[in-house]
Amino acid sequence: MESVWQKNTTKPNFQSLIGVKNTDVLIIGGGIAGILCAHKLKNAGINCILTEADTICSGVTQNTTAKITLQHGAMFDQLIKRFGSEKARLYVEAQKIAGASIAELCRDIECDYESKDSYVYSLSNRNKIEKEQQALNTLDINAEFVNTSELPFEIAGAVRVKKQAQFHPLKFLYSVAQGLPIYEHSKIIGLKPNKAVTNQGEIRYKKLIIATHFPMINKHGGYFAKLYQHRSYVIALKNAKKISGMYVDASDTGLSFRSDGNFLLLGGGGHRTGKQGGGWKELENFAKQHFHNAKIVAKWATQDCMTLDEIPYIGQYSQAMPDIYVATGFNKWGMTNSMVSAEILCDLIQGKFNRYAELFSPSRSIFHPQLFTNTFESILGLLTPTAPRCPHLGCALKYNREEHSWDCPCHGSRFSENGTLIDNPATDDHLSIQKRG
C-alpha cells in the first residue's frame, strides 16, 4: 500500500552516520517537522545534524493528504471559548505565517503547489458551521458561509476560507532536504546527557530536538498521558468527479476530499488506534455509491498524534530538560504545524523571544476531559489479560484485521503480523508476536 506521493517521486539518498560527530543541535526524526527544523537552523547559521532510523519521510509524512491551510476543521469556535480571542488569534497568526513560509519555499520548487479554497462542511449541523464562520470572522479571517458545494451529497452548510493551498509533499521535502546534514538508517539506540548513541556511532550535541512523531522519552513530559493516536484512511480514485476545493467534515467521523491531478483523494474511516473503525471499506462503499465509474488506484492509511486541547506541543520537552525540545501532536494538520514548529524551535534554540511559544508550550495545563479518556484507555490496556503486550508500556495489543497489524489502543504503537515495528512510540520490534494463520 503506497500513497500517490510515493508512486511518482525519486527520493534522494543519504549516508548512514558512522563514527563520532559533534554538533550544536541534534534533530531526531526525518519527517516534515525534522526536515523543516534542519532547514531553518542551517539557514540561521546553526550547526545541526538530523538522524533518521529509516529513510526520510518514510513514516507519517508520506501518507498525508497535504492540505496547507489555517482552517483546521471546526475548531475555532471552541478555541475561543477555551482560551479566549487573543490566544486563538495567535494560533491563526502562526498558521498564516507558516503557510506563507511554505508558499515562499515552493516558488523555487516544482511540487505541484496550487492555491485552493478550503471548506469545512457539515451534513446536518448548520448552527455549528455558522458559529465557526463567526469565530473566524472574529479572528479577522475572511470566512464565508455557503449553502451548497460541489460534493456529491447535500450539506447543511460549509464555511469557506479562500486562497489556501495544496501540494505534493514528497516533491517539496525531497527538494528541501537536498544539502542538509541528514543521516539515514541511523537509529538512536541510547540517549545520555549531550550524547546520542546510534547503531554505528555517536553524536555529541549541545541541544536536542525530538521530532519522532510520538516523543520517545517516557520519563519526562508525560506525553504518554497527553497524547493519543488516531488512525485514518485514504483512497485515490480515477474517473471520479473533479473537486476544485479542499473539504473536511466538521465531524471527526466524516470524510475529506481533495484532488491531485486526475485523481480524487477521499479520506475518512478513522478511529482511535487499536479500536474499530470504518477503514477503507467505508471509503470503498462511499465510492461505489457516489462515483460509479471510478477506479481505486491507490489506498493508504496514516496516523496522527492528538493533544488534549487541539493545540500541538512545541517547545521545551519538559521543565526538567532545558536543552531538549519537542514538536508533536499536530492533530492531523502537520503541514502548517511543522513549519510553526520550525519557526518556534529555531528561535528558542537561539535564545530569541517567540510570541507564539507560550501558546504551544508543552508545559501548559493538562486538565482537559481528554486526559481522563487517555488515562482510562491506558488502565484498560494494562489490565486486559491478553497477549501480546506492547513493549512501550505494557498494554495489550489488538489485532487490526483491516491492515493485518497489531495495534496498541493506549499510545498507538503498531507492529506487523510477525512483530516488526511499524509506528512508535515503541522503539523496537516485538519478537513475541507470532504470525496469525
Q: How many CB atoms lie within 10 A of CB 55?
A: 16
Per-residue pLDDT of the chain (437 residues; tens, 9 = 90+): 789 999 888 999 999 999 999 999 999 999 999 999 999 999 999 999 999 999 999 999 999 999 999 999 999 999 999 999 999 999 999 999 999 999 999 999 999 999 999 999 999 999 999 999 999 999 999 999 999 889 999 999 999 999 999 999 999 999 999 999 999 999 999 999 999 999 899 999 999 999 999 998 888 999 999 999 999 999 999 999 889 999 999 998 899 999 999 999 999 999 899 888 899 999 999 999 999 999 999 999 999 999 999 999 999 999 999 999 999 999 999 999 999 999 999 999 999 999 999 999 999 988 888 987 888 787 877 778 777 888 888 888 888 888 888 888 888 888 888 788 888 888 878 766 655 44
Instruction: List the chain domain ranges.
Output: 4-64+171-225+309-360, 369-423
**CATH number at 4-64+171-225+309-360:** 3.50.50.60
Residue 199 CB-half CA count within 13 A: 11
Q: Is 117 helix (H, G, I), strand (E, B) or coil?
A: strand
Q: Indicate the pTM of the whole model.
A: 0.94
Q: Is 103 helix (H, G, I), strand (E, B) or coil?
A: helix
CATH of 369-423, one of 3.40.50.300, 2.102.10.10, 3.30.470.10, 3.40.50.150: 2.102.10.10
C-alpha cell of 341? Answer: 514548529
User: Between the CA atoms of 119, 32, 175 and 161, what dihedral angle is there, to the nearest 10 degrees?
Assistant: 10
